[in-house]
């Protein structure tokens, strides 16, 4: 597949008649960051949000961009990146934010290069960042995405380093309840999961300033130990369950060279219950100050070096025991642009003709074979969704395994693989008539008993073929079912269903998603309890039976049984520990036989299912 064209370079453009862009500092799918000069000759950084990205992301993209500018501009503190101006240039249709130029690297980049820092250096970084966050909290602003990549180590003249907190793009003000609800999208998770507090992971609406205390503590843990506090957590369901059941390991376990009292100080910021955590950032600062290694918290470039093995051993043996009293500016997101692949040829065999639909779990295109012109459909899964190269190949392998399956109620898979240029997995399948069952339900609300039973029977027949082949689908859901109206035996229109979505089970356990992503994908909501608990290790035909029961439930009631849960953490916990509500709770007139069947198919434990 050919590489997408780079977005337009705006170097030489003057935005709003004031800011002349002189060079590009960084670029992403959402926009770019430029160095610019003001009419007074000041060198600044200009962060842009392109019109195409705004259109794809929807109206909330511009509002969040503007909100970041407003929030950041309201903060005047040496440890918060300075925002100078913001606006919209009508000539180029580009939204922009003007801020100070930062020289240096963020904490994530530093730790990638060095590993663990000297304890007093890591503490000084944390203290400076904490002072910036405390200033935000004093104005009622919560950052909500504190992590190493948002802690910038700005190099100043004379070899000094000043820590600045960046990227208030998903910050919220505590004062406005209505804005809180809109920004959190009824509880959807915003932030970087490895650094999010348990309460934010479960329900973003519950997060307050103590979530920033947690995020900073997790970040300084990285700097002190050279590795994250959470280990062996590769996907979001596992993270949710880990934080719901157990405390974060102590710093003493991960970094025995650190003072145990410093471990205690950090532990006070990493309590799962926010009511037991430090109540304020000021309290966290007070707990850290004894470990800064001097009377101030100034930093110099020569201090930003690795703590070598000898120093670790010596520090572990001789660490003092202190007794305590009680890219210069990175883009906030990278947004895939699926339209760019239209007109290109995938693996030299498939010409992509038209984008048909896009969602959180991939893009579907109309295509044709390059040699014969045979029509087909292609599904591409962005790497931001599927994760590593190994995961991409695993998804493709699951889809390839379905090529030999033939049945009128199965969408036939023609090919699958990983595109070597974009590194995205793809699935080629026969064109699907009609539309997805989820689209039909969105229009009709629910189906009559006979129609729902007919669709369920088609899916059961398709799954029987899959299971007899020794395979499983693993992600049966309404969005993976295609329906088309055809004449029935009595001459009246009847729905014919076909099952698609091969390989999607892998997407239930995608790597931890990036900041700003809506974590709740339809595939995740379709997980069976054993999938959520065992990260797809216990996949069996009974897993598909669970999925079929959820589809039947949705067809009869017009709602998913877990539809009330919008936050990822709530959904994972509900799948793992709660029984599915009885169908009659939402559809009292449902046929008792189907109510009983749906109940038997959706047992919380795998074994009792048929």
Strands 151-155 and 172-173: unpaired
Is pLDDT of 567 > 50? yes
**Residue 497: beta bridge partners?**
483
- Domain(s) labelled CATH 1.10.510.10 in the chain stretch across 104-172+183-318, 339-601
Say if CB 333 and CB 30 are below 8 A apart.
yes
CATH architecture, domain defined by 14-99: 2-Layer Sandwich (3.30)
Other beta carbons less than 10 A from residue 357's beta carbon? 14
Q: Poorest-confidence range of 123-137, 397-411, 425-439, 510-524?
A: 510-524
- Over the stretch 332-342, which tens digit does the pLDDT of each residue have? 333 456 787 88
Under the banding of pLDDT at 50, 70 and 90, the label for residue 419 is: confident
| Whole-angstrom distance, CA of residue 469 vs CA of residue 537 | 19
R_g over Cα of the chain:
27
| Structure tokens that stand for 609 in this block | 């299912």
- Can you give the pLDDT at residue 163? 98
Q: Three-state SS for 75?
A: coil
The answer on pLDDT for 474 being more than 50 is yes
CB atoms near residue 293 (< 10 Å):
15
What is the band of 164 on the pLDDT scale with cuts at 50, 70, 90? very high
Q: Out of 85-94, 525-534, 578-587, which region has the weakest mean confidence (pLDDT)?
A: 525-534
Q: Please choose, from the candidates 41, 42, 35, 68, the residue with its C-alpha nearest in 3D space to the C-alpha of residue 333.
A: 68
**CATH code of the region 339-601:** 1.10.510.10
Q: What is the mean pLDDT of residues 239-257?
A: 83
Hey, how many other C-beta atoms are within 10 angstroms of the C-beta on 267?
17
**Residues 289 and 127 sit within 8 Å (Cβ to Cβ):** yes
Closest of 197, 218, 223 to residue 209, by C-alpha: 197
CB 27 within 8 A of CB 81: no
User: Looking at residue 588, what is its pLDDT?
Assistant: 83
Report the 10 Å Cβ neighbour count for 186. 11
C-alpha span between 603 and 607 (Å, rounded): 8
The answer, yes or no, to whether residue 506 has pLDDT greater than 50, is no
- What's the CATH architecture for 104-172+183-318? Orthogonal Bundle (1.10)
**Average pLDDT estimate for 4-9:** 49
The alpha carbon of residue 223 and the mean position of all alpha carbons in its chain are separated, in whole angstroms, by 23
pLDDT of residue 473: 85
For position 400, what pLDDT does the model report? Answer: 86
Q: Where in the chain is the domain with CATH 3.30.200.20?
A: 14-99
Burial of 424 (0-12, 13-18, 19+ CB in 10 A): buried
pTM listed for this prediction? 0.61
Determine the average pLDDT of the residues in 590-610.
68
Residue with tokens 């709740």: 520
| pLDDT > 90 in the chain, percent | 36
User: pLDDT, tens digit, for every residue of 256-313?
Assistant: 999 989 999 999 999 989 999 999 999 999 999 999 998 889 999 999 999 887 777 7
């Amino acid at each position: 597949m050919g590489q997408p064209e780079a977005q337009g370079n705006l170097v030489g453009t003057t935005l709003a008649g004031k800011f002349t862009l002189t060079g590009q500092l960084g670029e992403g799918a959402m926009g770019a960051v430029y160095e610019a000069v003001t009419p007074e000759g000041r060198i600044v950084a200009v962060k842009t949000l392109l019109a195409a990205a705004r259109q794809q992301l929807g109206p909330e993209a511009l509002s969040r961009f503007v909100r970041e500018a407003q929030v950041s501009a309201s903060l005047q503190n040496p440890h918060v990146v300075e925002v100078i101006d913001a606006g919209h240039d009508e000539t180029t249709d580009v939204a922009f934010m003007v801020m100070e130029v930062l020289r240096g690297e963020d904490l994530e980049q530093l730790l990638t290069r060095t590993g663990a820092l000297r304890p007093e250096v890591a503490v000084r970084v944390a203290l400076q960042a904490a002072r910036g966050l405390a200033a935000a909290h004093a104005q009622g602003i919560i950052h909500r995405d504190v992590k190493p990549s948002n802690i910038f180590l700005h190099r100043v003249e004379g070899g000094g380093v000043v820590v600045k907190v960046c990227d208030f793009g998903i910050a919220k003000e505590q004062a406005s309840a209505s804005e809180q609800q809109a920004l959190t999208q009824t509880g959807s998770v915003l932030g970087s999961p490895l650094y999010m507090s348990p309460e934010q992971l479960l329900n973003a609406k519950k997060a307050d300033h103590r979530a920033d205390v947690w995020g900073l503590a997790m970040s300084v843990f990285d700097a002190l130990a050279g590795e994250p506090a959470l280990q062996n957590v590769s996907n979001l369901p596992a993270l949710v369950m880990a934080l719901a059941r157990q405390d974060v390991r102590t710093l003493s376990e991960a970094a025995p060279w650190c003072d145990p009292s410093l471990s205690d100080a950090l532990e006070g910021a990493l309590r799962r219950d926010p009511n037991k955590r430090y109540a304020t950032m000021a309290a966290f600062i007070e707990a850290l100050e004894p470990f800064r290694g001097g009377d101030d918290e100034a930093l110099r470039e020569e201090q930003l070096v690795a703590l070598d093995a000898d120093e670790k051993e010596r520090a572990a043996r001789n660490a003092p025991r202190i007794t305590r009293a009680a890219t210069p500016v990175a883009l906030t997101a990278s947004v895939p642009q699926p339209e760019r692949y239209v007109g290109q040829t995938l693996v030299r065999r498939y010409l992509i003709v038209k984008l048909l639909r896009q969602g959180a779990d991939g893009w579907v295109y109309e295509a044709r074979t390059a040699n014969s012109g045979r029509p087909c459909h292609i599904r591409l899964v962005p790497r931001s969704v599927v994760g590593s190269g190994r995961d991409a190949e695993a998804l493709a392998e699951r889809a390839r395994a379905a090529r030999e399956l033939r049945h009128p109620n199965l969408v036939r898979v023609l090919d699958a693989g990983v595109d070597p240029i974009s590194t995205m997995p793809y699935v080629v399948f026969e064109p699907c008539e009609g539309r997805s069952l989820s689209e039909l339900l969105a229009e009709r609300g629910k189906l009559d008993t006979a129609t729902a039973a007919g669709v369920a029977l088609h899916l059961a027949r398709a799954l029987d073929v899959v299971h007899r082949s020794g395979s499983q689908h693993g992600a049966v859901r309404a969005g993976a079912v295609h329906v088309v109206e055809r004449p029935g035996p009595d001459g009246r229109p009847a729905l014919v269903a076909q099952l698609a979505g091969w390989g999607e089970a892998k997407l239930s356990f995608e790597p931890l998603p990036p900041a700003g992503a809506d974590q709740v994908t339809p595939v995740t909501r379709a997980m069976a309890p054993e999938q959520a608990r065992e990260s797809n290790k216990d996949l069996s035909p009974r897993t598909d039976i669970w999925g079929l029961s959820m589809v039947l439930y949705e067809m009869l009631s017009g709602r998913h049984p877990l539809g009330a849960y919008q936050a990822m953490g709530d959904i994972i916990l509900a799948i793992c520990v709660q029984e599915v509500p009885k169908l009659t709770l939402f559809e009292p007139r449902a046929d008792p036989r189907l109510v009983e069947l749906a109940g038997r198919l959706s047992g919380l434990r795998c074994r009792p299912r048929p």
